[in-house]
């Protein structure tokens, strides 16, 4: 049985958002209930306590004045960072704990106490830029985990795979010139936040360490599988990651209100299998950090599908076989060719 750490806490429920906001506490409640019903709980270990992220680490990723802004906004009772992104009275402390949860997951895997880990945290993080939050995100949990892996444990080849339906503009910006983190994003084209184009490949020493793969609506299970098999896994074989970090957003699910990609829970199980394969091209270390996913049943079953792969256990959860008219094969094949052409400028895949 695989040793899998699940980082979860009631603290993450205390980040309150306005009524009808997609990023709400019920997301985590639904996932935790689904894990209990799946029968996988006994295959997961949980930390007794998670510490807030170290402030020096936080300020190495986010500008101190932005950190102070979030703290002061929360102390004043809350407010809006942007039209989508809310800070409540407890949100600063919760965001510190969420980032700390991602760092705790990486720490357990780096120290060999777990083979893999899943950080079930909120608020999410991959849109958070060095100097501002956006897209429901306050602090960039996955980026902070990557920096901790590099600076505390000497892991110099970190593959950060972002399969959220939205491009992780914050993560890309943080590592834009950094050759220790290879950022790979699959995301819906012409979608929020408007970044993640083919020609965004990094700069300076970081050139070639960003690969964006914008995909058409209705890519679906089969399209994603092909992209992972023919681009992501071979790229991992060239990079040989010390750690594979997944920005695990589940808003590409067919029922999600914020996308149109038609991926099923079974499709996310396949993506997790391929992520595990990619991690094994290096050391095998894998950590997933929750990002988006706003249809509660879709999110819950998709996370269970991911944990089913990580624990190597069969869940009691039913994963219905959904059939959709997905994007045509030639369209997906063209995206794969373009992604490989871009990657081949820098990597032997």
**Positive or negative torsion for Cα 123, 127, 132, 133:** negative
Distance, in Å, from the CA atom of 100 to the CA atom of 148, rounded to the nearest integer, reads 10
Distance, in Å, from the CA atom of 94 to the CA atom of 285, rounded to the nearest integer, reads 27
Residue 259 contacts residue 272 (beta carbons within 8 Å): no
Ranges of beta strands (E only) in 156-271 are 158-162, 181-188, 210-215, 243-248
| Helical axes 91-110 vs 64-75, angle rounded to 10° | 130
The pair of three-digit structure tokens given for residue 287, joined into one six-digit string: 């950590």
Residue 205 contacts residue 245 (beta carbons within 8 Å): no
Which one of 126, 127, 166, 187 is the catalytic residue?
127
Across the strands, what pairs with 213? 186
155 Cα distance to chain centroid: 19
Annotated catalytic residue 253: no
**Positive or negative torsion for Cα 58, 251, 202, 277:** positive
DSSP state of 13: G
Instruction: Supply the DSSP string of 128-148, one letter for each residue.
Output: -BTTB-BTTBSS-HHHHHHHH
Q: How many CA atoms lie within 13 A of 157 on its CB side?
A: 14
Helix, strand, coil shares of the chain as percentages rounded to 5? 45, 15, 40
Catalytic residue ranges: 127
């Amino acid at each position: 049985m695989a040793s899998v750490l699940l980082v979860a806490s009631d603290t993450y429920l205390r980040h309150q958002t306005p009524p009808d906001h997609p990023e709400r506490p019920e997301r985590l409640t639904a996932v935790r209930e689904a894990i209990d019903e799946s029968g996988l709980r006994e295959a997961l270990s949980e930390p007794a306590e998670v510490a807030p992220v170290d402030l020096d680490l936080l300020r190495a990723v986010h500008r101190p004045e932005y950190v102070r802004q979030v703290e002061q906004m929360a102390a004043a009772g809350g407010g809006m960072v942007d039209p989508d992104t809310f800070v409540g009275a407890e949100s600063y402390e919760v965001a510190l704990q969420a980032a700390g949860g991602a760092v705790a997951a990486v720490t357990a895997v780096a120290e060999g106490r777990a083979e893999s880990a899943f950080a079930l945290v909120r608020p999410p993080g991959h849109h958070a830029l060095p100097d501002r939050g956006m897209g429901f995100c306050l602090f960039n949990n996955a980026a902070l985990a990557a920096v901790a892996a590099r600076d505390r444990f000497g892991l110099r080849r970190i593959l950060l795979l972002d399969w959220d339906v939205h491009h992780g503009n914050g993560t890309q910006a943080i590592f834009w010139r950094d050759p220790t983190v290879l950022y790979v994003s699959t995301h819906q084209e012409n979608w929020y936040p408007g970044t993640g184009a083919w020609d965004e490949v990094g700069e300076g020493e970081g050139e070639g360490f960003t690969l964006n793969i914008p995909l058409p609506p209705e890519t679906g299970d089969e399209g994603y599988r092909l992209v992972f098999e023919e681009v992501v896994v071979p790229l991992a074989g060239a990079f040989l990651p010390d750690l594979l970090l997944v920005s695990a957003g589940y808003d590409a699910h067919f029922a999600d209100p914020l996308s149109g990609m038609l991926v099923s829970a079974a499709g996310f199980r396949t993506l997790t299998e391929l992520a595990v394969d990619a991690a094994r091209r290096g050391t095998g270390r894998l950590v997933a950090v929750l990002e988006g996913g706003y249809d509660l049943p879709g999110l819950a079953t998709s996370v269970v599908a991911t944990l089913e792969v990580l624990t190597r256990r069969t869940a009691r959860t039913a994963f219905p076989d959904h059939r959709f008219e997905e994007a045509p094969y030639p369209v997906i094949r063209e995206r794969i060719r373009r992604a490989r052409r871009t990657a081949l400028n820098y990597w032997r895949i």
